[in-house]
Amino acid sequence: MAFRDATGLPPHQFLTQARMAQAEALLRDGVSVTATAVGYTNPSKFSAAYQRYRGTKPSRCRQT
């Protein structure tokens, strides 16, 4: 409970938001993001999480 009180988020959601922020920063810089670069071991899990978070696939963000 102390973590949630300090951050306003449960640990898993905090970690997911941090990973997505890192992925977005890399994509903005034109870097192709690998799942392991942002803490995922499975590329399809990363892609699905990113799509839930942003509403689009990571590959689409890299193209824009």
| Long-range contacts at 30-39 (CB < 8 A, ≥ 24 apart) | 30/62, 32/62, 33/58, 33/62, 39/15
Fold of 2-63: Arc Repressor Mutant, subunit A (1.10.10)
Check residue 31 and give its pLDDT: 87
Check residue 28 and give its pLDDT: 87
Is the pTM above the cut of 0.85?
Answer: no
Q: Tokens 């938001």 — which residue?
A: 17
Q: For residues 13 and 49, is the Cβ–Cβ distance under 8 A?
A: no
pLDDT digits (tens), the chain, 64 positions = 799 999 999 999 999 999 999 999 998 888 888 999 999 999 999 999 999 999 998 878 765 4
Check residue 62 and give its pLDDT: 63
Domain spans of the chain, in order of start? 2-63
